Structure 1
């Protein structure tokens, strides 16, 4: 499964996870399923000035991240249950240069109380999976060196 997020700042807690998109793939590279959710902002969190400047230039994208946003706790628990339902020993593939795994880890620990993955795999170690489709026009194309994935092993 590949994972892609949108946030309103560089770190979770002071800033919020806005969108979580994950696509699960089997060992053969065939899609198993997709999880997509927009999350409400954390109470007391603020938009980072750099993120605010970026989102100002992408008003339509910002509105897409706010459409049907759900409470973070509901999303984190639904996501953890979805990962559990994949079976096997899912691995979360990370790109250390991107904050995606930090946000996902923080939200899962804070709201679901657990990390449902068997481990982390560096993105450069996998070439089988493609990134999940991003519905926002401001998303840049993701290449092999910019993947965030989870594999149901």
Structure 2
């Protein structure tokens, strides 16, 4: 079997979550944003670019508990979201539909979605829990996520511990602001991911 036939076309979806605490359930996801980062098949990786499709929702909290420090990061008005936020069921159903739409690749083929995060564990924890709890399914399956920090460690050949954006070459870093607005940050990390995918590695 050829390599091309073994390759599953993949669409990478950058996701950023803003929450009011460390774990879903006792705490709430208040907003999340997603942006297509690129497409990958046997012919290689193709970045989607800054004008790629995006998704954003602000959600109604699901519990009474919140960490004021976590809430302050996003700057979202939790009291306003209690009355005006999108119900989680509606938000996750709409997100599943959006992911299905972006799985239709630019070449007419169906692409398998993979969530990209920086760092992925926190965002994936909230996203997967909300998908299963309120939509009953995950378009990414149970493990379809890729951590950008891990990708950098592997490509750069450096230990994972201590990696941060300040430790990365300036050429990899997007010239986009990190605003803590979930869609802005999803687009920023989509560009970082694309830069990493196209990177030749550290100079020796």
**1:57-68 matches, cutoff 5 A:** 61-63=75-77, 66=81, 68=84
Equivalent of 2:29 in 17, 20, 23:
17
Distance 2:113 2:122 in 1: 19
Q: Which residue of 1 aligns with 2:38?
A: 26
Report the Cα offset of residue 117 of structure 1: 1.3
Equivalent of 1:81 in 97, 101, 105:
97
By percentage of residues, which structure has more helix?
Answer: 2
| 4+ residue runs over 3 A deviation | 64-68, 94-98, 126-136
Distance 2:54 2:91 in 1: 14
Report the Cα offset of residue 26 of structure 1: 2.7
Equivalent of 1:6 in 18, 21, 35:
18
Q: Equivalent residue of 1:90, what SS?
A: strand
Q: Equivalent residue of 1:26, what SS?
A: strand
Compute the TM-score of the two structures, normalised by the length of structure 2: 0.55
Matched, 1:47 2:65: yes
Residues 97 and 84 of structure 1, relative CA distance in 2, 3 Å threshold: closer
Q: Which residue of 2 aligns with 1:122?
A: 147
For structure 1, list consecutive stretches of 5 or more residues without a partner in the other structure: none
Q: Equivalent residue of 1:12, what SS?
A: coil
Report the Cα offset of residue 133 of structure 1: 6.5
Highest Rg: 1 or 2? 2
CA contact (8 A) 2:14 2:117 kept: no
Residues 26 and 148 of structure 1, relative CA distance in 2, 3 Å threshold: closer
Superposed CA RMSD: 3.8
Equivalent of 1:37 in 57, 60, 66:
57
Residues 71-128 of structure 1, C-alpha deviation per residue, up to 9 Å, x if partnerless?
0000011001111111110111245675111000000001111110152223232799
Residues 133 and 117 of structure 1, relative CA distance in 2, 3 Å threshold: farther
